[in-house]
Structure 1
Amino acid sequence: MSTMQINSRLRRIHAGWYVGAFVLVLGVVAQVLYSTGAYDSWRNGRSLDQACDGTLAQGGLDAALGSSNLRVGSLDSDGDYLAQCSVQTTKSGARGGALQVRLRWSGATAPSGSLVRYSQDYEGVRGQAAPLGNGWPGIVRHDDAWQVMVAIDCQNEKSKALVAYGDLYASSGGPALTGLGRVVTESAQKAAAKYGCRARAGKQLTQVSAPTLGKPRTVKPLAQAQGSCTALREPASSAAESGTPLIMEYPADPQAPQVNCYLVTPAKKPGYGLYAYYGAVAKDFLASEGRNLKEGYGPTHKDNDYSWATAKCPQSTQPAVFVLYRLYDRDTDTYPVRHYSAQFAASAVKAFADHEAKQRGCTDVQMASQP
């Protein structure tokens, strides 16, 4: 065998060694990536970047779910949503958590889960919603899960709003609730920019307060109202005569799309609930009642113990809706206010609507008749 043949053979052997060594190194690297979770982390990170059509904001995810080990879950497709996604911790069982984000235009059909919440607004404080704050047109609610909702108006398209929902499961609130608020508001902001909705954003959320009304410690005299019940200070004497000299209220927030005020009995039971709904939320509320203002109808209520009004507000062609309900106490299976006063209800909702309209620049407050 010639020297040239020997050298050629050696080169082939060495090349084989190099290829084999390279494959072996790749295998070792892959094994390390899998065993340390680095590959899963990289894959999950890419999935998060693409979630909700690339609009999912990740700044508050770790706080919301109490973990940095996250993965994108699956959601059933729904054509009514602009985008939707689910994020879960990699933990399982009771230690695991999940967060869902859904985005839609205000003209699209509202999610049934949110409409159900409006049907509870005559059952004590079950329909309550706290203002999100920091300049965001949003609210925070709690039932089986925490929910943050924002409806940001598109300044370049009148009566169009981008509505974002975030639902958080397996959480007790606190820092998690603030994280949820950040995810929802910042995702809405990203989605608005992506889909051509010129919107005014609020400030970054640093603390989100949970709905807490309904506890005895939240009750105070009507004369001390400074927030959402301020309008009722004037007809205070008639409120006392109607059996509700006390209140439960939230801080005043002219950006919140839903406002709650509760008139409370001496036994510290909510007797009347006053609600204001604006823009996309007003539309959803009426949809939950199966009503349309253009048809001349308003909300429905058991025994017709309610009064309501409307107003025209800037930016949205959807009239604002103001409602007073006599509340039902599920714990005692009774109405804390035994005798409903239609006269008081009308005067209270008119005062409430007038005050709210003034704060929002709304006009033409109209009392509406019941069907």
Structure 2
Amino acid sequence: MSNSRRTRSGVIVAAVTVVLALVAAAVVFFGGGYERWQDGRSVARACGGVVPGEAVRSLLRSNSAYVDRDSEEHSVFAGDAGWLETCAVTARGADGGSVSLGVGRAGEVRGILAGLGRQNLLQSPLPTTPVGSGWSGVVSWVGPLRNAVVQLDCRRTGVPDLVVRASALTDGEQDSAEAAAGLTRIARVVTETAGRANDKWGCEAALGKTVTSLAGPKPGRTEVKAVAEAHGTCRALTAVLSGLSSRRGASSVGGVVEAPVDAAPLEDCQIVDKGGEPLFQLTALYGALSGDVLSTRTGRVFASDGRSEGEWADAWASARCEQRTEPARYLVAAADPAKGRDAATRELERLLLRAFAAESAERHGCGAVVDNRTK
């Protein structure tokens, strides 16, 4: 074959190769591949580069998700101060859900409890569920929102603890099994984000394991246990209620609604009557969540003179915890502020609070509980 023929053949082969490459690129571009690539890049850079893209897409049940600047301006973090990074990721498609994420420093951020649907701490339909797996965190399901908070202990480096918060709005999670899976997925998102934030901001905290499931009652269902069968966050109340069965207020107790015991920064115990309606609620707060309560309506109870400024709690207590700036805080209140205001019921509340707080404080390695009477 002559050199000219070989040259022409080479040119033709090269031209065909270029055309095929262009066709392939066009297929990718017009087939959505380029959009997905751009989406992936935007998510990888979101919140300072700590967002776990795969876990987020799994949470949103979408093959593609992108950073939504418009949603960020109106996200659940709007108006909340002190966050190092916030971002909002939205799934592609007409029915796409979204998740808002934030990373901040304990003592500087506000809106942690609001992000769990606990603006009024003592009016919660269901206890929060601990993240578990070695993480200090909780998840909650409030209406259409799945929420999660994790805090990282940065005391090794002497910097304030880190707080990671996530709130997701997703479709199609109406049945209990799917809702439970949705809570597990958001726990996975918030813990993987926390692991990346731990490296980025030099926290050097001891991290938990990969979250594959959550303990506790199924989402959306109130599981009432007999007082004698309480083994979770209400277990300290068994002896108190059993010994006071004839006392006013205690005689109407039908059971408890509790969460599993874990190293959670927020713990709830709800006492219900024989019809399953709430009578009293007890809550324990640790670390950043304990500090954040002061910015909520419930925080009015912690007035400097130890008395309540509103009907947000009937009694409260506190305890100092090792190497923690914020004390742990414990509260009790009647579910219906209009009922149970007699002295006997208030004394019952204080007995319940002392038992609940002492058991929780001991598990968290805190000191003696100081009982502060508010009314």
The offset of 1:37, in angstroms, is 1.4
CA contact under 8 A between 2:40 and 2:64: conserved in structure 1?
A: no
- Match of 2:355, as an amino acid? A
Kindly provide the CA deviation profile for residues 116-169 of structure 1, in whole angstroms up to 9, marking residues without a partner as x: 83343333x336311111111001112231101111110324572111111110
CA contact under 8 A between 1:142 and 1:211: conserved in structure 2?
A: no
Matched, 1:222 2:264: no
Map of 2:333 onto structure 1? 325
CA contact under 8 A between 1:65 and 1:97: conserved in structure 2?
A: yes
> How far apart are the structure 1 equivalents of 2:256 and 2:16?
77
Map of 2:42 onto structure 1? 47
Structure 1 length as normaliser, TM-score?
Answer: 0.83
Map of 2:87 onto structure 1? 85
The offset of 1:274, in angstroms, is 0.6
Q: Secondary structure at the match of 2:275?
A: coil
Matched, 1:104 2:112: no
Larger gyration radius, structure 1 or structure 2:
1
Determine what percentage of the aligned residue pairs are the same residue: 27
Q: 2:353 aligns with which of 349, 353, 363?
A: 349
Kindly provide the CA deviation profile for residues 258-281 of structure 1, in whole angstroms up to 9, marking residues without a partner as x: 011111111211100010000101
> How far apart are the structure 2 equivalents of 1:214 and 1:64?
19
Judged with a 3 Å threshold, the aligned counterparts in structure 2 of structure 1 residues 260 and 239 are, in CA distance, closer, same or farther, namely farther
Moved more, 338-347 or 146-155: 338-347
Judged with a 3 Å threshold, the aligned counterparts in structure 2 of structure 1 residues 183 and 295 are, in CA distance, closer, same or farther, namely same
Matched, 1:286 2:290: no
The offset of 1:49, in angstroms, is 1.5
- Match of 1:85, as an amino acid? C
Matched, 1:67 2:49: no
Judged with a 3 Å threshold, the aligned counterparts in structure 2 of structure 1 residues 277 and 208 are, in CA distance, closer, same or farther, namely same
Map of 2:176 onto structure 1? none
> How far apart are the structure 2 equivalents of 1:169 and 1:349?
35
Q: 1:276 aligns with which of 284, 309, 315?
A: 284
Judged with a 3 Å threshold, the aligned counterparts in structure 2 of structure 1 residues 130 and 103 are, in CA distance, closer, same or farther, namely same
Kindly provide the CA deviation profile for residues 16-45 of structure 1, in whole angstroms up to 9, marking residues without a partner as x: 999998986665344222222121122122
Kindly provide the CA deviation profile for residues 300-351 of structure 1, in whole angstroms up to 9, marking residues without a partner as x: 542x65111000112312010010010039xxxx75x686711111111011
CA contact under 8 A between 2:116 and 2:148: conserved in structure 1?
A: no
Q: Secondary structure at the match of 1:132?
A: strand
Map of 2:204 onto structure 1? 198
Matched, 1:142 2:141: yes
> How far apart are the structure 1 equivalents of 2:358 and 2:231?
16
Q: Secondary structure at the match of 1:315?
A: coil
The offset of 1:104, in angstroms, is 0.8
> How far apart are the structure 2 equivalents of 1:150 and 1:141?
12
Q: Secondary structure at the match of 1:321?
A: strand
Map of 1:33 onto structure 2? 28
- Any unmatched runs of 5+ in structure 2? 174-178
Judged with a 3 Å threshold, the aligned counterparts in structure 2 of structure 1 residues 159 and 349 are, in CA distance, closer, same or farther, namely farther
Map of 1:244 onto structure 2? 253
Matched, 1:265 2:270: no
- Match of 1:126, as an amino acid? P
CA contact under 8 A between 1:63 and 1:176: conserved in structure 2?
A: no
CA contact under 8 A between 1:160 and 1:316: conserved in structure 2?
A: no
The offset of 1:211, in angstroms, is 6.2
Map of 2:131 onto structure 1? 132
Kindly provide the CA deviation profile for residues 20-78 of structure 1, in whole angstroms up to 9, marking residues without a partner as x: 98986665344222222121122122122211111112342232111222222221387
Q: 1:180 aligns with which of 175, 178, 186?
A: 186
The offset of 1:285, in angstroms, is 1.3
> How far apart are the structure 2 equivalents of 1:305 and 1:349?
11
Matched, 1:256 2:264: yes
- Any unmatched runs of 5+ in structure 1? 1-6
> How far apart are the structure 1 equivalents of 2:245 and 2:320?
27
CA contact under 8 A between 2:88 and 2:100: conserved in structure 1?
A: yes
> How far apart are the structure 1 equivalents of 2:113 and 2:234?
28
